């Protein structure tokens, strides 16, 4: 699956579970780690964890299991690494504090 198709898959799946304020950053010229970063918010720790777990499950069923998932214990910020696309699911307060869009969007 191409990076753009994977990005669209991620967006579709997190929209299914009501992720909020979805932002997509094209970082292919800023890092070798991924082509896209998708950042979204969840309304609670449970919602953040549910978004990440749902995406991981759906990706696995589609034939490309996550390389890694980090942050599920605290569920304030959960990262799902799918290779070309990295999803950051954050609670609003954590997202406001770290401001990844500003960091990677410059």
Residue ranges of alpha helices (H) inside the chain are 3-16, 45-61, 92-98, 100-105
Nearest by Cα to 94 from 45, 53, 56: 45
CA distance readout (Å), 39 to 61, 63, 95: 22, 22, 9
DSSP string, 63-78: T---SEEE-TTT-SEE
- Domains of the chain from N-terminus onward: 3-101 (3.30.460.10)
pLDDT tens by residue, 38-97:
999 999 999 999 999 999 999 999 999 999 999 978 889 999 999 999 999 999 999 999
| pLDDT for position 93 | 93
| pLDDT for position 106 | 55
Q: With contact defined as beta carbons under 8 Å apart, do 37 and 45 qualify? A: no
Instruction: Check whether 1 has a pLDDT greater than 70.
Output: no
Q: What is the CA radius of gyration of the chain?
A: 12
> For 56, phi and psi rounded to 5 degrees?
-60, -45
| pLDDT for position 101 | 86
| pLDDT for position 20 | 96
């Amino acid at each position: 699956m191409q990076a753009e198709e994977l990005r669209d898959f991620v967006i579709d799946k997190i929209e299914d579970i009501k992720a909020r304020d979805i932002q997509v950053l094209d970082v292919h010229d800023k890092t070798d780690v991924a082509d896209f970063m998708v950042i979204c918010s969840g309304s609670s720790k449970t919602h953040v964890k549910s978004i990440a777990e749902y995406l991981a499950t759906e990706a696995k069923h589609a034939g490309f299991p996550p390389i890694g998932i980090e942050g599920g214990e605290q569920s304030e910020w959960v990262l799902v690494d799918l290779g070309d696309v990295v999803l950051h699911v954050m609670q609003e307060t954590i997202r406001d504090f770290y401001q990844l869009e500003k960091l990677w969007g410059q």
